[in-house]
Amino acid sequence: MKKLIGPFTQILPLTGLPLKGALKDEQLNIIDNGGALVEDGLILTVDDFEKLRKNYPSAQVEEITGDHVLLPGFVDCHTHICFAGSRAKDYAMRNAGKSYLEIAASGGGIWDSVAQTRAATETELSNLLTKRIARHLAEGVTTIEVKSGYGLSVTEELKQLKAIRQAADKTHAHIIPTCLAAHIKPKDFDGAESEYLKYLVNDLLPKIKQEGLASRVDIFIEQSAFNTSDALFYLSKARQMGFEATVHADQFTTGGTEVAVKARAASADHLEASGDYEIKLLANSDTVAVTLPGASLGLGMGYAPARKLLDAGACLAIASDWNPGSAPMGDLLMQASVMAASEKLSAAEVFAGLTFRASQALKLNDRGILIKGKLADMQAYPCNDYREILYQQGKLKPVRVWTSENND
């Protein structure tokens, strides 16, 4: 049955905008006093509300009273929200001036999250994840990528991915699982980093493929994780098996972006250390540049060069990196708003980076804009001007969120 939702003071369908490069707010197509006509979880059209009501008299009307601005649902293309435990001790030590190595030596770091996640059952992990998904969805995030990477063995990585699948069955949000078994080499693995990656290729990835637990892999390229040559081997093998690839790139040192582009990865994520060479590589490729302002805020370090990436012609997405260590906040809109002020990003660039450009990082072309045939994933903010949303730096939250799973 057709449903007409509105009227909205403004609708920003985000149509007609390029996938790559800088954007100006003047390029936004704004529909005043608009409505969204949906059917079977898909957009039929967005247009003037009264015009739609007249043209579709049999449509069920969901009336919106008061001033509201309608946007596509956000797409968070990089999270680590399947975990157990807390790293509050790490955060306090980091703020007190301790180094990464000092924190790790005291029992903190990624391995601390691995230990706490391994100690949890699949059901416990699923329940924790379900709560985090519910918060994200309430804040307008309708598609959420969720990584494993706190298991770091065949048994424990499968447990994490099964917990992700279990949580996905309990939400109206769209959950995209990614295998990040190549997060770090686990302490209890007897062998070199290259041998650990071969173990994943031979023993883990075939099982993930067989059980349909994920179609994407990720790898952390860094001095404390995996080097570029080992990463290229791993990504090549994973792609031969039919997996899509993404890369943790250039967080502290460079090298990851070059690997991501060579491996034809869907995205290169982090990029805080990226320079002119890496920016040019991304601008001249189909690999999406994903900036993670939550990690910059959590670690007290500079942002990825978002402005330079856009001006060079890259496709820029913005994701939360919600994780227990470096980005525990998980408030995607707040992070994007604050980074926008520092990097001088237009509202159009921010909203594009949170919607259809973030969808591109996940190779999803069925969402992120409000146009015929796309998923009816939408969110409404209680204001009369879209500029209020970023102006209030994350304090203005959506009062209504729709997804294609509950919008029919």
Task: Please name which of 247, 194, 187, 184 lies closest in space to residue 217, comparing C-alpha atoms.
Answer: 247
Q: What strand order describes the sheet that includes 316-318?
A: 74-76, 141-147, 174-182, 216-220, 244-249, 267-270, 288-291, 316-318
Task: Please name which of 354, 344, 295, 371 lies closest in space to residue 144, comparing C-alpha atoms.
Answer: 354
Check: CATH 2.30.40.10 for 3-72+369-402? yes
Q: C-alpha angle 171/175/178, rounded to 5°?
A: 145
* Cβ–Cβ under 8 Å, residues 9 and 351: no
How many Cβ atoms are within 10 Å of 212's Cβ, its own excluded?
10
Say how far apart CA 269 and CA 346 lie, in whole Å.
21
pLDDT in tens, 186-230: 999 999 999 999 999 999 999 999 999 999 999 999 998 999 999
Long-range contact pairs involving 52-57 (C-beta distance under 8 Å, separation at least 24): 52/4, 52/6, 53/4, 56/2, 56/4
Percent of all residues in the chain with a pLDDT value above 90, rounded to a whole number: 96
pLDDT for the residue 407: 63
pLDDT for the residue 184: 96
pLDDT interval class at 106 (50, 70, 90): confident
* Cβ–Cβ under 8 Å, residues 76 and 320: yes
Cα dihedral value 331, 220, 246, 242, nearest 10 = -130
pLDDT in tens, 40-52: 999 999 999 999 9
pLDDT for the residue 99: 84
**pLDDT, average across residues 94-114:** 89
**pLDDT, average across residues 18-32:** 98
**pLDDT, average across residues 15-44:** 98
* Cβ–Cβ under 8 Å, residues 73 and 406: no
- Token pair recorded at residue 262: 């060579």
pLDDT for the residue 117: 98
Say how far apart CA 359 and CA 78 lie, in whole Å.
11
Which residues in the chain are classed under CATH 2.30.40.10? 3-72+369-402
**pLDDT, average across residues 161-174:** 98
pLDDT in tens, 46-98: 999 999 999 999 999 999 999 999 999 999 999 999 999 999 999 999 999 99
pLDDT in tens, 293-338: 999 999 999 999 999 999 999 999 999 999 999 999 999 999 999 9
Cα dihedral value 216, 372, 36, 70, nearest 10 = 50
Strand partners, 11: 31, 70
Q: C-alpha angle 86/320/315, rounded to 5°?
A: 155
Q: Is the pLDDT of residue 22 over 80?
A: yes
Tell me, yes or no, if the pTM score tops 0.95. yes
> What size, in residues, is the chain?
408
Q: Is the pLDDT of residue 408 over 60?
A: no
pLDDT for the residue 335: 98
- Computed over every residue of the chain, the mean pLDDT equals 97
Q: Looking at residue 302, what DSSP letter applies?
A: P
pLDDT interval class at 101 (50, 70, 90): confident
Which residues in the chain are classed under CATH 3.20.20.140? 74-361
CATH superfamily of 74-361: Metal-dependent hydrolases (3.20.20.140)
pLDDT interval class at 100 (50, 70, 90): confident
Quick check: helix, strand or coil at residue 241? coil
Say how far apart CA 88 and CA 221 lie, in whole Å.
25
User: Pairing between strand 31-39 and 42-48?
Assistant: antiparallel
